Structure 1
Amino acid sequence: KVSQSPLITFNLEDYLPPRMTELDLCTLVGDDVLREAAFRNTLKANDFSAYQNTVVRLYLSEDLIFPTWAPILLSGRLADLGIASIWAPNSETFWSQYFREVLGKLDYSTFKGKPIVLKGCGDKRIPRDAYVQAIQYLKPVAKKISYGEACSAVPLK
Protein backbone atom coordinates (compact mmCIF):
# COMPACT_ATOMS: atom_id res chain seq x y z
CA LYS A 1 0.00 0.00 0.00
CA VAL A 2 2.82 2.43 0.90
CA SER A 3 4.59 1.70 -2.40
CA GLN A 4 1.45 2.76 -4.32
CA SER A 5 1.05 5.99 -2.37
CA PRO A 6 1.31 9.34 -4.19
CA LEU A 7 3.50 10.61 -1.33
CA ILE A 8 6.79 12.21 -2.30
CA THR A 9 9.63 11.72 0.16
CA PHE A 10 11.73 14.82 0.76
CA ASN A 11 14.95 13.39 2.13
CA LEU A 12 17.53 15.89 3.35
CA GLU A 13 20.20 13.19 3.02
CA ASP A 14 19.86 13.61 -0.76
CA TYR A 15 21.36 17.09 -0.38
CA LEU A 16 24.43 16.17 1.65
CA PRO A 17 27.69 16.98 -0.14
CA PRO A 18 29.81 14.10 -1.44
CA ARG A 19 32.45 15.09 1.12
CA MET A 20 32.95 17.59 3.92
CA THR A 21 36.40 18.48 5.19
CA GLU A 22 37.67 20.81 7.85
CA LEU A 23 40.44 23.37 7.69
CA ASP A 24 41.76 24.90 10.89
CA LEU A 25 43.10 28.38 10.21
CA CYS A 26 45.57 27.89 13.06
CA THR A 27 47.46 25.42 10.84
CA LEU A 28 48.15 28.23 8.37
CA VAL A 29 49.79 30.55 10.90
CA GLY A 30 53.50 30.13 11.62
CA ASP A 31 53.53 31.87 14.99
CA ASP A 32 51.13 33.54 17.39
CA VAL A 33 50.91 36.72 15.33
CA LEU A 34 49.15 36.71 11.98
CA ARG A 35 50.86 38.94 9.47
CA GLU A 36 48.99 39.80 6.29
CA ALA A 37 51.90 39.44 3.84
CA ALA A 38 53.02 36.12 5.32
CA PHE A 39 49.44 34.81 5.36
CA ARG A 40 48.93 35.76 1.71
CA ASN A 41 52.17 33.96 0.80
CA THR A 42 51.04 30.89 2.75
CA LEU A 43 47.75 30.85 0.85
CA LYS A 44 49.55 31.12 -2.50
CA ALA A 45 52.08 28.41 -1.62
CA ASN A 46 49.62 25.98 -0.05
CA ASP A 47 48.32 23.12 -2.19
CA PHE A 48 44.58 23.01 -1.58
CA SER A 49 43.90 20.26 -4.16
CA ALA A 50 42.98 17.82 -1.37
CA TYR A 51 39.89 19.96 -0.81
CA GLN A 52 38.56 19.59 -4.38
CA ASN A 53 35.01 18.18 -4.57
CA THR A 54 34.35 18.96 -0.92
CA VAL A 55 32.65 21.60 1.15
CA VAL A 56 35.18 22.94 3.65
CA ARG A 57 34.38 23.97 7.20
CA LEU A 58 36.73 26.81 8.14
CA TYR A 59 37.32 27.23 11.87
CA LEU A 60 39.82 28.10 14.60
CA SER A 61 40.85 25.33 16.99
CA GLU A 62 42.55 27.72 19.41
CA ASP A 63 41.26 30.84 21.06
CA LEU A 64 43.37 33.27 19.07
CA ILE A 65 42.63 36.81 18.07
CA PHE A 66 42.21 36.46 14.35
CA PRO A 67 41.44 39.39 12.05
CA THR A 68 38.20 39.11 10.10
CA TRP A 69 40.03 39.37 6.79
CA ALA A 70 41.95 36.10 7.34
CA PRO A 71 39.09 33.62 6.76
CA ILE A 72 37.79 35.90 4.00
CA LEU A 73 41.13 35.68 2.17
CA LEU A 74 41.22 31.92 2.65
CA SER A 75 37.65 31.47 1.43
CA GLY A 76 38.45 33.63 -1.60
CA ARG A 77 41.51 31.50 -2.39
CA LEU A 78 39.42 28.33 -2.12
CA ALA A 79 36.68 29.89 -4.29
CA ASP A 80 39.33 30.63 -6.96
CA LEU A 81 39.93 26.87 -7.03
CA GLY A 82 36.21 26.05 -7.19
CA ILE A 83 36.11 24.89 -3.57
CA ALA A 84 33.10 25.84 -1.43
CA SER A 85 33.74 26.89 2.16
CA ILE A 86 31.69 27.88 5.19
CA TRP A 87 32.94 29.59 8.35
CA ALA A 88 31.56 27.66 11.32
CA PRO A 89 32.93 27.27 14.85
CA ASN A 90 31.48 23.76 15.17
CA SER A 91 30.02 20.97 13.08
CA GLU A 92 26.35 21.65 13.90
CA THR A 93 26.69 25.29 12.86
CA PHE A 94 28.41 24.16 9.67
CA TRP A 95 25.57 21.82 8.74
CA SER A 96 22.91 24.41 9.58
CA GLN A 97 24.58 26.97 7.35
CA TYR A 98 25.17 24.40 4.62
CA PHE A 99 21.50 23.36 4.51
CA ARG A 100 20.30 26.97 4.63
CA GLU A 101 22.32 27.64 1.50
CA VAL A 102 21.34 24.43 -0.31
CA LEU A 103 17.63 24.58 0.55
CA GLY A 104 17.49 28.22 -0.47
CA LYS A 105 18.59 27.31 -4.00
CA LEU A 106 16.13 24.47 -4.67
CA ASP A 107 13.17 24.70 -7.04
CA TYR A 108 10.12 23.69 -5.00
CA SER A 109 7.64 23.92 -7.88
CA THR A 110 7.82 20.13 -8.39
CA PHE A 111 6.19 19.73 -4.96
CA LYS A 112 3.25 22.05 -5.76
CA GLY A 113 -0.04 20.51 -4.64
CA LYS A 114 1.55 17.19 -3.69
CA PRO A 115 1.65 15.28 -0.40
CA ILE A 116 5.16 15.28 1.05
CA VAL A 117 6.85 13.21 3.73
CA LEU A 118 9.80 15.03 5.25
CA LYS A 119 11.99 12.04 6.01
CA GLY A 120 13.42 12.03 9.50
CA CYS A 121 15.54 9.83 11.74
CA GLY A 122 18.35 9.65 9.21
CA ASP A 123 21.89 10.91 9.05
CA LYS A 124 22.99 12.44 12.36
CA ARG A 125 24.78 15.28 10.53
CA ILE A 126 21.43 16.78 9.54
CA PRO A 127 20.59 19.33 12.26
CA ARG A 128 17.10 20.20 13.43
CA ASP A 129 17.52 23.58 11.80
CA ALA A 130 17.59 21.90 8.38
CA TYR A 131 14.13 20.43 9.02
CA VAL A 132 12.90 23.83 10.21
CA GLN A 133 14.21 25.40 7.00
CA ALA A 134 12.72 22.64 4.83
CA ILE A 135 9.22 23.14 6.24
CA GLN A 136 9.49 26.88 5.57
CA TYR A 137 10.06 26.16 1.87
CA LEU A 138 7.69 23.20 1.49
CA LYS A 139 4.67 24.55 3.37
CA PRO A 140 3.67 27.20 0.79
CA VAL A 141 3.67 24.67 -2.09
CA ALA A 142 2.81 21.23 -0.72
CA LYS A 143 -0.75 19.94 -0.38
CA LYS A 144 0.10 18.02 2.78
CA ILE A 145 3.32 17.54 4.76
CA SER A 146 4.21 14.84 7.26
CA TYR A 147 7.41 14.09 9.14
CA GLY A 148 8.93 10.64 9.56
CA GLU A 149 8.44 7.65 7.30
CA ALA A 150 5.55 7.00 4.92
CA CYS A 151 4.27 4.16 7.13
CA SER A 152 4.32 6.20 10.36
CA ALA A 153 4.40 9.95 9.85
CA VAL A 154 3.41 12.92 12.00
CA PRO A 155 1.20 15.43 10.13
CA LEU A 156 2.70 18.93 9.82
CA LYS A 157 0.26 20.51 7.35
Structure 2
Amino acid sequence: MENEIINRVANSKLITFNLEEYYPEGKRVLFDISDWLLEGIVLKESDFRTSVKQHDWSQYQGSYIALHCSTDAIIPGWAFLLVSLQLAPFAKKTVVGTLDTLESILFAEIIPTLDFSALQDKPVIIKGCAHKPIPQNAYLLLAEKLQPIAKNIMYGEACSSVPLYKRK
Protein backbone atom coordinates (compact mmCIF):
# COMPACT_ATOMS: atom_id res chain seq x y z
CA MET A 1 0.00 0.00 0.00
CA GLU A 2 1.45 3.35 -1.05
CA ASN A 3 1.55 6.22 1.41
CA GLU A 4 -0.17 9.21 -0.09
CA ILE A 5 1.33 12.57 0.76
CA ILE A 6 -1.35 14.87 2.07
CA ASN A 7 -0.84 18.61 2.04
CA ARG A 8 -2.42 19.54 5.36
CA VAL A 9 -1.73 23.24 4.83
CA ALA A 10 -3.61 23.29 1.52
CA ASN A 11 -6.52 21.42 3.13
CA SER A 12 -6.68 23.58 6.22
CA LYS A 13 -8.91 26.59 6.80
CA LEU A 14 -5.85 28.81 7.32
CA ILE A 15 -5.91 32.06 5.41
CA THR A 16 -2.61 33.72 4.61
CA PHE A 17 -2.72 37.50 4.55
CA ASN A 18 0.15 38.94 2.53
CA LEU A 19 0.64 42.71 2.94
CA GLU A 20 2.87 42.66 -0.13
CA GLU A 21 -0.27 42.26 -2.25
CA TYR A 22 -1.34 45.75 -1.17
CA TYR A 23 2.02 47.44 -1.71
CA PRO A 24 1.36 50.59 -3.76
CA GLU A 25 3.42 50.56 -6.94
CA GLY A 26 5.43 53.62 -7.82
CA LYS A 27 8.89 55.05 -7.51
CA ARG A 28 10.03 56.09 -4.02
CA VAL A 29 12.19 59.21 -3.72
CA LEU A 30 14.04 60.52 -0.67
CA PHE A 31 14.19 64.24 -1.44
CA ASP A 32 16.90 66.06 0.51
CA ILE A 33 16.45 69.82 0.80
CA SER A 34 19.90 70.37 2.33
CA ASP A 35 21.33 71.14 -1.12
CA TRP A 36 19.18 74.27 -1.13
CA LEU A 37 20.57 75.56 2.17
CA LEU A 38 23.50 77.89 2.58
CA GLU A 39 26.43 75.62 3.48
CA GLY A 40 23.83 72.92 4.04
CA ILE A 41 22.66 74.40 7.33
CA VAL A 42 21.10 77.84 6.87
CA LEU A 43 17.85 78.40 5.04
CA LYS A 44 18.00 81.74 3.30
CA GLU A 45 14.42 82.35 2.23
CA SER A 46 15.04 84.14 -1.08
CA ASP A 47 17.59 81.54 -2.27
CA PHE A 48 15.42 78.66 -1.10
CA ARG A 49 12.38 80.04 -2.93
CA THR A 50 14.47 80.49 -6.10
CA SER A 51 15.66 76.87 -5.92
CA VAL A 52 12.10 75.65 -5.44
CA LYS A 53 10.83 77.76 -8.33
CA GLN A 54 13.56 76.62 -10.74
CA HIS A 55 13.38 72.91 -9.93
CA ASP A 56 11.81 70.54 -12.50
CA TRP A 57 9.01 69.00 -10.45
CA SER A 58 7.56 67.02 -13.36
CA GLN A 59 10.28 64.38 -12.92
CA TYR A 60 8.38 63.15 -9.84
CA GLN A 61 5.22 62.28 -11.78
CA GLY A 62 3.60 59.26 -10.12
CA SER A 63 6.23 59.01 -7.39
CA TYR A 64 6.01 58.74 -3.63
CA ILE A 65 8.19 61.38 -1.98
CA ALA A 66 9.78 61.54 1.48
CA LEU A 67 11.05 65.06 2.17
CA HIS A 68 13.92 65.40 4.60
CA CYS A 69 17.05 67.35 5.44
CA SER A 70 20.21 65.29 5.84
CA THR A 71 21.98 67.96 7.90
CA ASP A 72 21.27 69.22 11.40
CA ALA A 73 19.76 72.42 10.04
CA ILE A 74 16.72 73.91 11.71
CA ILE A 75 14.10 74.02 8.99
CA PRO A 76 11.10 76.33 9.35
CA GLY A 77 7.78 74.54 8.92
CA TRP A 78 6.84 76.49 5.81
CA ALA A 79 9.86 75.16 3.86
CA PHE A 80 8.53 71.60 3.60
CA LEU A 81 5.06 72.98 2.88
CA LEU A 82 6.41 75.05 0.00
CA VAL A 83 8.11 72.02 -1.52
CA SER A 84 5.08 69.77 -1.02
CA LEU A 85 2.80 72.26 -2.78
CA GLN A 86 5.09 72.16 -5.81
CA LEU A 87 5.06 68.36 -5.74
CA ALA A 88 1.26 68.11 -5.35
CA PRO A 89 0.41 68.08 -9.09
CA PHE A 90 2.95 65.31 -9.75
CA ALA A 91 3.57 63.08 -6.71
CA LYS A 92 1.13 60.40 -5.56
CA LYS A 93 2.04 61.15 -1.94
CA THR A 94 4.46 63.45 -0.14
CA VAL A 95 5.48 63.15 3.51
CA VAL A 96 8.17 64.63 5.73
CA GLY A 97 10.52 61.95 7.00
CA THR A 98 12.38 58.87 5.87
CA LEU A 99 11.40 56.27 3.31
CA ASP A 100 10.32 54.10 6.28
CA THR A 101 8.02 56.92 7.40
CA LEU A 102 6.61 57.10 3.88
CA GLU A 103 5.88 53.35 3.77
CA SER A 104 4.29 53.44 7.23
CA ILE A 105 1.99 56.28 6.22
CA LEU A 106 1.02 54.55 2.97
CA PHE A 107 0.01 51.39 4.82
CA ALA A 108 -1.74 53.39 7.54
CA GLU A 109 -3.95 54.73 4.76
CA ILE A 110 -4.42 51.39 2.97
CA ILE A 111 -5.19 48.99 5.83
CA PRO A 112 -8.35 50.76 7.10
CA THR A 113 -9.84 50.58 3.59
CA LEU A 114 -9.50 46.78 3.27
CA ASP A 115 -12.47 44.45 3.56
CA PHE A 116 -11.73 41.84 6.22
CA SER A 117 -15.19 40.22 6.23
CA ALA A 118 -13.89 37.02 4.58
CA LEU A 119 -11.58 36.53 7.56
CA GLN A 120 -14.39 36.50 10.14
CA ASP A 121 -13.82 33.67 12.64
CA LYS A 122 -11.01 32.18 10.54
CA PRO A 123 -7.43 31.34 11.49
CA VAL A 124 -5.18 33.90 9.78
CA ILE A 125 -1.46 33.87 9.15
CA ILE A 126 0.15 37.24 8.56
CA LYS A 127 2.81 36.42 6.01
CA GLY A 128 6.17 37.53 7.33
CA CYS A 129 8.54 37.21 4.39
CA ALA A 130 8.32 40.00 1.85
CA HIS A 131 10.36 41.07 -1.15
CA LYS A 132 9.10 44.63 -0.87
CA PRO A 133 9.78 47.03 2.02
CA ILE A 134 6.81 46.39 4.28
CA PRO A 135 7.26 48.48 7.46
CA GLN A 136 6.83 46.95 10.90
CA ASN A 137 4.04 49.44 11.59
CA ALA A 138 2.00 47.87 8.79
CA TYR A 139 2.09 44.51 10.56
CA LEU A 140 1.00 46.15 13.82
CA LEU A 141 -1.89 47.95 12.13
CA LEU A 142 -2.96 44.76 10.39
CA ALA A 143 -2.87 42.74 13.62
CA GLU A 144 -4.99 45.38 15.37
CA LYS A 145 -7.55 45.22 12.56
CA LEU A 146 -7.62 41.42 12.57
CA GLN A 147 -7.87 40.89 16.34
CA PRO A 148 -11.63 41.49 16.66
CA ILE A 149 -12.31 39.53 13.46
CA ALA A 150 -10.02 36.48 13.21
CA LYS A 151 -10.32 33.36 15.32
CA ASN A 152 -6.53 33.00 15.51
CA ILE A 153 -3.67 35.20 14.34
CA MET A 154 -0.27 33.77 13.50
CA TYR A 155 2.83 35.21 11.90
CA GLY A 156 5.19 33.66 9.37
CA GLU A 157 4.47 30.84 6.95
CA ALA A 158 1.95 28.02 7.24
CA CYS A 159 4.76 25.49 7.75
CA SER A 160 6.40 27.49 10.55
CA SER A 161 4.07 30.05 12.01
CA VAL A 162 4.32 31.77 15.37
CA PRO A 163 1.01 31.96 17.27
CA LEU A 164 0.15 35.50 18.34
CA TYR A 165 -3.50 35.56 19.32
CA LYS A 166 -6.35 33.13 19.94
CA ARG A 167 -9.86 34.31 20.66
CA LYS A 168 -11.33 32.80 23.83
Question: Aligning the two structures, in what range does the TM-score lie when normalised by the shorter sequence?
Answer: 0.7 to 0.9
Q: Deviations over 1:32-68 (max 9, x none)?
A: 3331x55444334322233222211111111112111
Gaps of 5+ in 1: none
Matches within 5 A, 1:93-132: 93-123=101-131, 125-132=133-140
- 2:20–2:132: 8 Å Cα contact kept in structure 1? no
Q: 1:125: Cα distance to partner?
A: 2.8
Match of 1:156, SS state, is: strand
Q: Distance in 2 between matches of 1:105 and 1:132?
A: 16
> Aligned pair in 2 of structure 1 residues 6, 54: CA closer, same or farther (>3 Å)?
farther
Deviates more, 1:99-108 or 1:16-25: 99-108
> What is the RMSD of the two structures over their aligned residues, measured on CA atoms?
2.4
- TM-score normalised by length of structure 2: 0.76
From 64, 69, 73, the counterpart of 2:78: 69
Partner of 1:8: 15
Contact 1:21 1:57 in 2 (8 A): yes
Q: 2: CA distance between counterparts of 1:43 and 1:26?
A: 12
Specify the code of the residue in structure 2 equivalent to 1:137: K
CA distance in 1, matches of 2:55, 2:124: 46
Q: 1:49-88 counterparts in 2 under 5 A?
A: 49-88=58-97
Q: Does 1:33 align with 2:38?
A: no
Opposite residue 15 of structure 2, the aligned amino acid is I
Residue 154 of structure 1: aligned partner:
162
- TM-score (ref. length: structure 1): 0.81
Gapped runs of 5+ residues in structure 2? 1-6
Q: How far, CA to CA, are the matches of 1:116 and 1:5 in structure 2?
A: 11
Paired with 2:155 and 2:32, the residues of 1 have a C-alpha distance of 36
Rg larger in structure: 2
Post-superposition shift, 1:101?
2.6
Deviation of the 1:15 alpha carbon = 2.6
Query: Compared with structure 1, are the counterparts of its residues 110 and 69 closer, same or farther at alpha carbon in structure 2 (3 Å cutoff)?
Result: farther
What is the aligned partner in structure 2 of residue 140 from structure 1?
148
Partner SS, residue 80 of structure 1: coil
C-alpha contact 2:104 2:137 (8 A) present in aligned 1: yes
The alignment-based identity, stated in percent, is 40
**Amino acid in structure 2 at the alignment position of 1:14:** E
